[in-house]
Structure 1
């Protein structure tokens, strides 16, 4: 009865019939074991409505870095631009993280940038293509600090009058009623006096049981990790480096900044030199084509230091009625960048080296080297740094003497800017922004910066997997490979065909450029 059925004598038709019966039995058994009317108790996912009134806010400062080549500058403009701006990317990340919550804005598609209600301020407005490694913004954002329990309202408010306006105000990040916030002493002695902005936030008792939970909050370790949250949402070439949890009273990233530092990177030689035998019109007093006289550039750079009228070193914006062109430069110099290597071996050949470089090298130094024009100043005019660099390049090529800087700074003698080409944008970096106390002559930064990796519990945010350095490594590696491949290609081409020292003179040399600045003065 329970033995195995012998199918050896079954016909083909009977076997098919038997298989069909077994399949039907199996299907019926499966249905009975898994009834289709079983209820699904999983609730459908729905997006919870965000209630801004439940969250405290605080003013913080953020230090960020970005590579500007892919962006249309830092500042957002009302009119469309071919490339996005840094501010647009910050706006999208801040909204998506619900760190700000403008009324009527979809956090996943926040639309037009509008910083109203966020106490937003920015230090530098870098132009298209310009990078920054120390840009600073101030902004009021959502905080983890618990809100104190609301106090009983007067009878007039309980009747409903004024509620609509208060509810509408909850969509900004202004200080909440009875909210507690940590600030630092003002940078200016005149700030924070009674009656000034930020000094009338109200008083409270430390013994009040209603605010104990808010007082027990650690404003750093218990807070939202702002840099890490934003870095997960920002493009890889924009990164938050640090945050200041307690900016000074009346802090403004623009007006509290007392010093802005720039660096403009360039190579030595500035462009590919040609063999000596192909040059025309060279003399012992002129640098070899492509090479820069670094000593002359240093001499010219130092002439920028001090308080000067820089109207001949900027682009005048017709939309702004600027009457004061005086700016103070604290430091200006040409500095060599250490630890840079190059695969452009052909540049070190005898036919390509300038005589002054060959005599200083002693067979040890390799070209090309990398230098920066390092500049520290209180503030700068539109395109001022790039105009200053352009003049230094003319001095470095021997087309102008270092004294041309002093002549252009003399606006009585030269009241109009002469025509000259402005230096390109991508080598320029806003290196740092300094916020010292007003009476500090050393101009030491007074902000309490907390860099990624400093906060206990978030130490892996710098060197850990998917940390800041890991992100930057990917960005660096992509560009480094491009540099290596371009260098290898130049090396291959330089070794092909006739050797450089065997080439004879002809029409292949560059025509010597004659661009003396002071020949013609052209009014802007």
Structure 2
């Protein structure tokens, strides 16, 4: 050591005696490069060594785990659907954000090892308020199988045992997917024992941890311990969707009667997007369908003497241009784009473009009668939301706040208050935009009605009857409406002017047909 030190000092002394002024430029550059490279290399080696010493890989084998369900709500408007895509796709999805958060918190090692299952995927732009996923996550508690806490090795053995249970359940569901879930593996579930419920009070605050990392429009509402045999998809007994839409001069009562024809067990191949990679099974059972007026949050918060929110049994009142309605459909499972296809046909019926019997004709199909689905526009995705998912009793014991399992007082639930605060902020921002648009609608009406008069700068009390009348006229001849586009022949205004479109509306059954499932399947086979 002392010898190296002496050699270094001697080298430095020799360098100090060098006559750099007499050196040529080329020699000086080479000398500087040589010494800089040596110092840089030494510095990088020291940094790398220090980094590798300080950073230690997280050892998942030393942790304990528990099987939990997460109840998730999200607005799908800003995402390319729920399902995560390959990394090279570089698209934003709800599931992608969820797994990023889980891995960042070291709650899971990866998707493959956490025994992940989900209730159902939603498409691009579609929202959900009751999405359920099941997975094994890291626990802060000590190993205790009676409370559902397992070591890494126990978990591996448990997963092997559950593979058969899950595969058996998949076979049952595939044979008769709509049989009201009678053969469900979760159909007889015992209540949670008190010791397990008590142990959750010492568990990690999964809700708060995940919500701190997730975007504001993706919220974890609660978590629950679940049994090892749980599967979020095959354990679900029903799914309920809401589709929100404006009255827009639609015949709501006729649409109500028409939607009832969708109830029951039918072949829905004319009400979905055909996927040639999936089995040729289009039979589904719809438990209930209804259309009712949506309740505005301002109505709900009014005083008790004015309360009376609408529900599925509500009688539809007379048309009002700003009324928002809800199409509610409930079933165990749905085909790809099934709800949006149903809504598209109901819109055509509501506009008196099609008779109510069109639903019977479209449902009267099987493999032999299949001539292909008529081509029609799909209803937009933004108004669609998965509002509820059903599971057998005692499947869950929901926890939305740490140490708050017995007292459901909202004022004691910090995570509940945080979620409500974020949602309220989103609502306020959108409500303000809505108020601005409403103001412009009123101002535009007033400006047109008082054009070049002394009252054109003064907003008087609006004539509701006149205002509603003009809005009804505009909406009934909406040239930009998705279900009217390029199908209006002629609209005559009061002053005699006309708005003309060259194309007539073509009835559904006279339109060109999509390829049948068998045709698509054969083409797929030939490509392989």
TM range (shorter): 0.5 to 0.7
Aligned equivalents of 1:518 and 1:408: distance in 2? 9
The CA deviation string for residues 381-406 of structure 1, in whole angstroms up to 9 with x for no partner, is: 11111000000000000101111111
2:505 equivalent among 501, 504, 514: 514
Aligned equivalents of 2:416 and 2:220: distance in 1? 17
Specify whether residues 79 and 513 from structure 1 end up closer, same or farther in structure 2 by C-alpha distance, changes over 3 A only: farther
2:347 equivalent among 376, 389, 393: 393
Aligned equivalents of 1:386 and 1:256: distance in 2? 25
Given that residues 102 and 108 in structure 2 are in contact (C-alpha distance below 8 angstroms), is that contact kept between their aligned partners in structure 1? Answer: yes
2:281 — aligned with what? 324
Aligned equivalents of 1:317 and 1:303: distance in 2? 25
Given that residues 221 and 416 in structure 2 are in contact (C-alpha distance below 8 angstroms), is that contact kept between their aligned partners in structure 1? Answer: no
Given that residues 242 and 450 in structure 1 are in contact (C-alpha distance below 8 angstroms), is that contact kept between their aligned partners in structure 2? Answer: yes
Compare 460-469 and 387-396 and name the one that shifted more: 460-469
Cα deviation, residue 218, structure 1: 3.4
Cα deviation, residue 508, structure 1: 5.1
The CA deviation string for residues 469-509 of structure 1, in whole angstroms up to 9 with x for no partner, is: 11111222122222221222222222213467898433354
Aligned equivalents of 1:263 and 1:251: distance in 2? 26
2:362 equivalent among 396, 408, 415: 408
Tell whether 2:338 aligns with 1:338.
no
How big is the alpha-carbon RMSD for the aligned residues of Structure 1 and Structure 2? 3.7
1:34 — aligned with what? none
Cα deviation, residue 522, structure 1: 1.2
Q: Which has the higher helix share?
A: 2
Specify whether residues 492 and 370 from structure 1 end up closer, same or farther in structure 2 by C-alpha distance, changes over 3 A only: same
Tell whether 2:108 aligns with 1:100.
yes
Cα deviation, residue 371, structure 1: 0.8
Q: TM-score, normalised by structure 2?
A: 0.63
1:313 — aligned with what? 271
Aligned equivalents of 2:427 and 2:186: distance in 1? 44
Given that residues 117 and 173 in structure 1 are in contact (C-alpha distance below 8 angstroms), is that contact kept between their aligned partners in structure 2? Answer: no
Tell whether 2:394 aligns with 1:429.
no
Specify whether residues 420 and 302 from structure 1 end up closer, same or farther in structure 2 by C-alpha distance, changes over 3 A only: same
2:29 — aligned with what? none
1:160 — aligned with what? none
Alignment: residue pair count: 373
Aligned equivalents of 1:147 and 1:334: distance in 2? 51
Please say which structure displays the higher CA radius of gyration.
1
2:243 equivalent among 256, 264, 271: 264
Cα deviation, residue 448, structure 1: 2.8
Cα deviation, residue 450, structure 1: 3.0
Given that residues 69 and 128 in structure 1 are in contact (C-alpha distance below 8 angstroms), is that contact kept between their aligned partners in structure 2? Answer: yes
Given that residues 208 and 415 in structure 2 are in contact (C-alpha distance below 8 angstroms), is that contact kept between their aligned partners in structure 1? Answer: no
Cα deviation, residue 61, structure 1: 0.6
Tell whether 2:354 aligns with 1:374.
no
Specify whether residues 120 and 420 from structure 1 end up closer, same or farther in structure 2 by C-alpha distance, changes over 3 A only: same
Given that residues 70 and 83 in structure 1 are in contact (C-alpha distance below 8 angstroms), is that contact kept between their aligned partners in structure 2? Answer: no
Cα deviation, residue 310, structure 1: 0.4
What SS class does the counterpart of residue 496 from structure 1 fall into?
helix
Task: Spell out the pairing of 1:216-231 with structure 2 (5 A cutoff).
Answer: 218-231=198-211
1:417 equivalent among 373, 376, 381: 373
Given that residues 72 and 81 in structure 1 are in contact (C-alpha distance below 8 angstroms), is that contact kept between their aligned partners in structure 2? Answer: no
What SS class does the counterpart of residue 112 from structure 2 fall into?
coil
What SS class does the counterpart of residue 450 from structure 1 fall into?
coil
Q: TM-score, normalised by structure 1?
A: 0.64
Specify whether residues 463 and 59 from structure 1 end up closer, same or farther in structure 2 by C-alpha distance, changes over 3 A only: closer
Given that residues 309 and 409 in structure 1 are in contact (C-alpha distance below 8 angstroms), is that contact kept between their aligned partners in structure 2? Answer: yes
Tell whether 2:212 aligns with 1:232.
yes
Cα deviation, residue 188, structure 1: 7.2
Cα deviation, residue 374, structure 1: 0.1
The CA deviation string for residues 67-92 of structure 1, in whole angstroms up to 9 with x for no partner, is: 00100000012274464000110011
What SS class does the counterpart of residue 117 from structure 1 fall into?
helix
Aligned equivalents of 2:211 and 2:323: distance in 1? 33
2:130 equivalent among 128, 134, 139: 134
